[in-house]
Structure 1
Amino acid sequence: MNTNTTDIGILNELSEMIALRMKSFMDPAHDGDWVEHKSHADYDLWFIQSGIVKIAIHGTEHTARPGDVVLFYPGIPYIASTIGSGCRFIYVHFDFGIGQQQRILDDFQLSGVVPGELVREETALFDASYVRSKGNRLYMKACLTAVLAKIIELHGQGAYIGTFAHGKSSRKTGGSLDVLQRVFQYVDERLHTAIKMSELAAIAGVSEKYFISYFKKIVGITPGQYIYQIKMNRARDYLYQKKYTVQQIASFLGYPDPFTFSKAFKKYYRVPPSKFE
């Protein structure tokens, strides 16, 4: 799979559903003889503080220097070493997922050495938050989120492409977001209608029953939940523009009447559209 073709827009659309959980973190110092043969069960970020780190993956050697960030995907074996007087880095093990899909990043070619100049502001915040981590882990989590969001943004802009995976997904289960790109596009273009599962299944080229199961496995939520989230995102955007009536927005989003739309909106945002700010 060529992960460059996968649109990162799905992560923006479902940003409110993303769950990031820090599992462990530390700042080990290693001497010049350090060598590590390993693969991780979760996502792993290294913030290089000093020295030079060499990372060999699939027979290719990569170099990380102070200020660089190294993103490892789960299950990818590597050999890490240092030279000279050694190295020190902060590492963070974390989970990043949507709903039941805890490997959502695997569909994007992000794993690799991120040059420090591309994430300087975000890594500076993270480094400072690490010093305060014993007293404010919530702040550290927020800074880690900012770093990942920046890496994702850079990838979407074409300014960074990870080199660890060589364009291949590290998912162990079959399928990928690529298969659903036409489905996402169709939903976006047809929000003004009552979208049927049979229509989406036909676009994906599978049976309706299989489509629902496949979608949930890959995205982490059901197609119905996805459509609802997209509609609520668009409803919020329309209301922010302050140009449309509730009746117009209900029509834009395929609701039969303003009452049905207002009920769906209040269920999500806890306030009716008329009081949303």
Structure 2
Amino acid sequence: MIQSHIRVKEILACFYQHRKLNYLFSSSSHSYFEFTYVDAGNLYTVVDDKEYILHSSQCMVYYPNQKHSQFTNAFSGCSCLTILFEMEMNIPESLKNKIILASQQIRLEMKRFIKEIQFDSWMHTEMSLVIFQRILIQALLEQRNSKKESRELVTDDELEPILLYIENHMDKDISVEELCRIFSVSRSSLQSMFRNDLNLTPKQYIADVKMKRAKLLLQEHGYTISEIAYQLGYHSLYYFSRKFKAYFGISPSEYTKSLPQ
């Protein structure tokens, strides 16, 4: 007999937000599940009175009645997707108090989910529920199959300090060789860590984080394009603009003009 053990019953709300510097969502709890995915920047969260940080391409699930808050600091805002939902679960595995490094498969599923919820029909609604359920199941599978099974938020794993170093040194031209030297790992080991957890090479991840940070800084209207390029370690404005357009399909100046004032 094939029986369902996890079922997303209802999506109560879904919103994508840019959280500016020094943003604060006060501590609260509620009777439903909450899924938060950080697309760019850093989001700090306090869960059951313990403080943690979610980096770009990381997500987590808050469980019903779990006390939590979220905030950014004075140096980095963030863009994140939040989904509030009701779910039935009858499984021993848990996503509670776990950091989920979103694999390429999870990120692709999230893009499909966002596409489906744009349409107002019962078929698209059903599809969005199915896709979001797949996201959660895939997250559980990756937790189970990872080398460090069911990694908790408080775990200081091998990749986490490397990601934090990259986030904190956006103004540098970070190389793979530099990361290997600082963290005493071989190039092949470093490549494997990024491939296994993020399905990206270190170089691709660095470029990904820098471009998302550039978009955040442009949204804040606090810096010129030249200043942003310099802050992200690009010493050529032309090269920065070319990279930005290749990543987002629009130049930094065109993107700035499209933003609300």
Q: TM-score, normalised by structure 1?
A: 0.46
Q: TM-score, normalised by structure 2?
A: 0.48
Q: Which structure's CA Rg is the greater one?
A: 1
